[in-house]
Amino acid sequence: MTKFQYPIVKAFVTELLRIFRDPGVTVIFIVATLAYPLIYKALYWNEQITNVPVAVVDLSNTPQSREFLHKWNAAPDIRLTHTCTSMAEAEMLLRDQKVHGIIYFPRDFARQLADPLGKAHISLYCDMSSFLYMKAIYLSCNNVMLESMRNIQIDRYEQMGIGQEMAWALVQDAPYTETALFTPTGGYGSFLIPAVLMLILHQTLFFGICMLGGTIREENEEKYTFSSLFGRAGACFTIYYALATILLCALPRLFDIPHIGSFWDIQLLIVPYLLAIIFFSLCVSVFIRNRESGLVILISTSLIFLFMAGISWPKEMIPDAWWYIATCIPYTHGAHAYIHINSMGASLATTSTEYIALWILTGVYCILACGLFCIRKRKLLEETLT
Structural domains of the chain in order of their starting residue, each with its CATH number: 5-44+185-385 (no CATH), 52-171 (3.40.1710.10)
Q: What is the pLDDT of residue 3?
A: 47
Query: What pLDDT digit, counting tens, does each position of 77-111 carry?
Result: 889 999 998 999 999 999 988 999 999 999 888 88
Residues 197, 248 contacting (CB under 8 angstroms): yes
Where does the pLDDT of residue 213 fall: very low under 50, low under 70, confident under 90, or very high at 90 and above? confident
Where does the pLDDT of residue 4 fall: very low under 50, low under 70, confident under 90, or very high at 90 and above? very low
- 83 phi/psi in degrees, rounded to 5: -110, 120
Report which of residues 143 and 55 the model is more confident about. Answer: 55
d(CA 67, CA 74): 11
- 244 phi/psi in degrees, rounded to 5: -65, -35
CB atoms inside a 10 Å sphere around CB 120: 21
Residues 44, 187 contacting (CB under 8 angstroms): yes
d(CA 105, CA 120): 9
Residues 369, 282 contacting (CB under 8 angstroms): yes
Where does the pLDDT of residue 154 fall: very low under 50, low under 70, confident under 90, or very high at 90 and above? low
Q: Which residues contact 175 (CB under 8 A, 6 or more apart)?
A: none
Which pTM does this prediction carry? Answer: 0.77
Strand order in the sheet with 101-105: 78-84, 52-58, 101-105, 123-126
Residues 22, 209 contacting (CB under 8 angstroms): no
Q: What is the pLDDT of residue 5?
A: 53
